[in-house]
């Protein structure tokens, strides 16, 4: 099993450009999450999807949209990128495999720079 | 707003010593607690989870939970240079179907050979 996968690994955008970050998990987890991590700020939740068909805002949702395409896939879209969105983005999932329903497993991350 | 507090460090210990990492949380009703390790440039990986008061041991790692004091800690025995990383404390929700975790900002641990 690959666990949680993310694409791309690195991306450079110009201000105003749009892009979609992709995330997929093969652990049959119900819940998926998008975080951003900035120096000194820790992990901050952007959006999450408790189950297929539902999405909810986290701590820092402004400037982002999400789509839970199916049980496996959860994408994050930046419609008009801003330099403040330069960050490392992590996708995570949680479910019953190998532990409690709330144990989260992380993907490798996407390092995004907005110029 | 739920808060999870950790000393940012860096915490520096010699090889072979015990490293003690601490975390406090604000939501008294929290039910689940996690320690993640994050190497520089990598993603967080789960080390331990703990749900009941007391100690839980896994190899060189021991998690300790005291819900009355709203305190959770991680002890690393026989610390190795490979343990040098940032350790993130995460706290689960107080109930319901909301599985969001609240993360602390992490403690940087350096193990000196």
Q: What share of residues in chain B are helix, strand, coil (percent, to 5)?
A: 5, 50, 45
Please give the angle made by the CA atoms of B34, B40 and B42, to the nearest 5 degrees: 65
Q: Check residue B36 and give its pLDDT.
A: 96
Separation CA B23–CA B72 (nearest Å): 5
- Inter-chain CB proximity B43 and A99 less than 8 Å: no
Contact list in A for residue B51 (CB cut-off 8 A) is 100
For residue B8, give how far its alpha carbon lies from the nearest alpha carbon of chain A (Å).
9
Separation CA B65–CA B25 (nearest Å): 11
Separation CA A35–CA A59 (nearest Å): 9
Residue of B nearest to A89 (CA): B43
Query: For A106, which of B32, B44, B98 is closest by C-beta distance?
Result: B44
User: Which is nearest to A8 in space by CA: A104, A111, A97, A105?
Assistant: A111
Residues B21 and B109 sit within 8 Å (Cβ to Cβ): yes
Q: What is the pLDDT of residues A8-46, one digit of tens each?
A: 999 999 999 999 999 999 999 889 999 999 988 889 999
Q: Which of B90, B95, B99, B108 to mutate to test the interface with A (most CBs of A within 10 A)?
A: B99
Q: What is the pLDDT of residues A70-88, one digit of tens each?
A: 999 999 999 999 999 999 9
User: Which is nearest to B93 in space by CA: A5, A39, A31?
Assistant: A31
Q: Check residue A95 and give its pLDDT.
A: 79
Q: Check residue B92 and give its pLDDT.
A: 86
């Amino acid at each position: 099993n690959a666990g949680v996968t993310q694409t791309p690994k690195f991306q450079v955008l110009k201000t105003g450009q749009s892009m979609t970050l992709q995330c997929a998990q093969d652990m049959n987890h119900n819940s998926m999450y998008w975080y951003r991590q900035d120096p000194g700020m820790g992990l901050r939740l952007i959006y999450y999807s408790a189950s297929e068909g539902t999405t909810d805002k986290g701590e820092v949702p402004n400037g982002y949209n999400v789509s839970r395409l199916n049980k496996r896939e959860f994408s994050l879209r930046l419609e008009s990128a801003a330099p403040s969105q330069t960050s490392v983005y992590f996708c995570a999932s949680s479910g019953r495999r190998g532990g409690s329903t709330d144990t989260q497993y992380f993907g490798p991350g996407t390092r995004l720079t907005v110029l | 707003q739920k808060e999870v507090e950790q000393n940012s460090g860096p915490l520096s210990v010699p090889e072979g010593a015990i490293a003690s990492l601490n975390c406090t949380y604000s939501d008294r009703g929290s039910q689940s607690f996690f320690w993640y390790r994050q190497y520089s440039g990598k993603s967080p990986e789960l080390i331990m989870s703990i749900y009941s008061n007391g100690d839980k041991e896994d190899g060189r790692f021991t998690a300790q939970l005291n819900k009355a004091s709203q305190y959770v800690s991680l002890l690393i025995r026989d610390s190795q240079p490979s343990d040098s990383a940032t350790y993130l404390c995460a706290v689960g929700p107080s109930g319901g179907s909301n599985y969001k975790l609240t993360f602390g900002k992490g403690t940087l641990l350096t193990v000196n050979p």
